[in-house]
Structure 1
Amino acid sequence: MDVNVVVVGSLNMDLVTRAERLPRAGETLAGESFATVAGGKGANQAVAAARLGARVAMIGCVGADAYGEQLRAALEREQIDCQAVTSVEGVATGVALIVVDASSQNAIVVVAGGNGQLSPAAVAHFDGLLQQAEVIICQLEVPQATVEHTLARGRALGKTVILNPAPAAGPLPADWYASIDYLIPNESEAAALSGLPVVSLESAEAAAGRLLALGAGKVIITLGEQGALFADGQCFEHFAALPVQALDTTGAGDTFVGGFAAALAQGKSEREAIAFGQVAAALSVTRAGAQPSIPGLNDVQGFRP
């Protein structure tokens, strides 16, 4: 099929437990439930874009094991093009160990596994998919050199390039910014990238301004219960959060990114795309899990706050 969104990124099996609270260092807690759920930021964003109306291809790597087979099957059920999801012998599929507390906050440890095998050459092998795309999405759960290659190639092809800089532990390489049309961090990621604290809407504006000055095309900082901040160098615009009762915030940011990309690929304006992504993310937090929580197009179109 012809694709209009290509996601270059991670596929993980999420091992999810719920507990009354998150454990402290050295502490053992009794959990309330356990589940294995298809995840990984790249795969989550691919599923979100597909459910929300885009024609999606995924470029990534899994291990040649049962989790890898399950993750591929989960994407194929969403009608996602998986020709570029490669099984690698001798490595385990990536996993994410997730604890969710009673207030729906989470703590996550990610083991890269097969995701670490996604090389620039592997992406270049499927360059035809990048050429088809209107929107290309990257995150930071695959090797840095691969992200750099994809961003630069997307810019060279004239595509709309989105970077969700997660997980972010510090500044991005300076030469990446010129290839990024939309940089979409959350509060902690924006702080890590900008070197500025992000604890309020005003401080988010300062961080966004710093990221624009570094060369990002436009910046969208997702702010959880405070909504989202859009900055394009001309103005700052705040999009208020939608009133929902949160059950599990896992995957909400990925749902926003996938929904935003799908809306752009369907010709919506960036502000319409932000609003669309916000509705999708708001619906996702009312359900448990990463991919299972992602709503479909009819859910978003029928949403009434």
Structure 2
Amino acid sequence: MRPFDYRRMADLQPVDQPGDRLIAGGTNLLDLMKLDVEAPRRLLDISRAGQDRITEHEGGLRIGALVTNADCAADPRIRADYPLLAKAILAGASPQLRNKATTGGNLCQRTRCQYFMATDTRCNKRQPGSGCDALQGVNRNHAILGTSEACIATYPGDMAVALTALDATVEVLGQGGTRLIPVAEFHRLPGDDPARDNVLRDDEVITGVTLPEPVAGRQIYRKIRDRSSYAFALVSVGAVIKLREDRIARVALAFGGLAHKPWRDPQTEAILTGQPPSPALFDQAADALLAKAKGRGGNDFKIALARRALAAVLTEATEE
């Protein structure tokens, strides 16, 4: 780990010096610093800067950026009205990490691609223009949707998948003031510039996440992984589905483990909306979801796995 300066912040404010990094729980950043992937000039400790409460907001809820994952998942209002979010958080990490990890930090976590985290390999995300060893390497956990020849890494989180299905919004503060970003637009696809994981500007800090007014329907989070706990998703599905008169009246689907960001496909949702549920309909929806999926050898199995996961979630959500 390289030397760095440290400063404790009394409140959340825009970042004003290049090379500064914010730290709250630090569960991801500190690992990357130890691996020499990240080398900030100065750490700005915001762990005691407020924004650690969940409050009512325009019929929904506002989750402060420094609310821990553990507190968010345990909040009675989250459990009652947004159970998808609670389920997704509890499916991630371990109790110890959830006690430290924050809402803002969780959204900003970086990929766990082994080539990104190993400085003796080629990685366009870590060193732009160097290449991507995952393309021809060990890529079992890598993306099948939205990839590019520059990067096939996946976004590893669970919480953001649920927030995407719930149509949440990220509040950020920068030198130019506050702006609101739909969670579905917060993370980026790699394209030719995979070094940037999200659309945050260099001076901006997340101040909170807002959830819209609760909607009726079943909320399901299914995570498929190599072991039953403390593992990243091979495929995950977050769903909010409402039936009316034996037809799917409303559906929101978000997927983890498939792309560089939580993946949401409007065409897949449009195919399902207004239709009576059936295995044939679920196959049609999966065809739309995976029409442009591309395996790289080791991760080819994810295409079939995503199809089965979608069918299982839709079946569960539409059963009597």
Report the TM-score, using the length of structure 1 for normalisation: 0.29
Q: Larger Rg: 1 or 2?
A: 2
Q: TM-score, normalised by structure 2?
A: 0.28
